[in-house]
Amino acid sequence: MKTQTAIKTLVIGFVLLVMSAIAGAQVTDTSGVASVNVQPAITLSLVTSPSWGKVVCPPSGTARYALDYATGAVTVVSGDGYAFNDGQSGQYSVTGAPSAPVSFSVSIGAFSGAGITVVHSYINGTSSSGTDTLAGDGTFTLKVGGVIDVASTADVANQTATVTVTIDYQ
């Protein structure tokens, strides 16, 4: 019986040895190459701040003034007002990865005095946000305009508001 047990143990050991050799023969290795293409960070620089220039308070009610994002022209949209048309559209310079798709947005906060309300803010069109592609050299220009309401009770003073422009890769 000891002989049979010894033979069984020897056979089992041999089978395990053969199986481990077969299992080891089935393992293969391969390698590849990892890569990353680092692009420049996107930057945004103020060239000119948007300005509606000088406008007149209406004698009553509200006058609505539009600042054209493309030309900087200021016009009276509605109400009894007058625009001296000495405004300028805001302009921002963008640099980043050549031909990269980007998204952008603008918001104009509350003006510093009473009586002026931001109705719309526009960036490169008639919306407060958009998408486009940087030029082949990685540059792009953003232009800002919008629409404000000036009440007859507006503070007669030079008023300011914070303009926030955001741009990012898509």
Domains of the chain: 43-169 (2.60.40)
Single pTM value for the model: 0.79
**pLDDT score, position 48:** 98
The pLDDT of residue 24 is above 60: no
Give residue-wise pLDDT tens across range 26-84: 788 899 999 999 999 999 999 999 999 999 999 999 999 999 999 999 999 999 999 99
Give residue-wise pLDDT tens across range 102-151: 999 999 999 999 999 999 999 999 999 999 999 999 999 999 999 999 99
**pLDDT score, position 8:** 74
Give residue-wise pLDDT tens across range 71-97: 999 999 999 999 998 999 999 999 999
Cα–Cα distances (Å) from 9 to 17, 20, 28, in that order, read 12, 16, 31
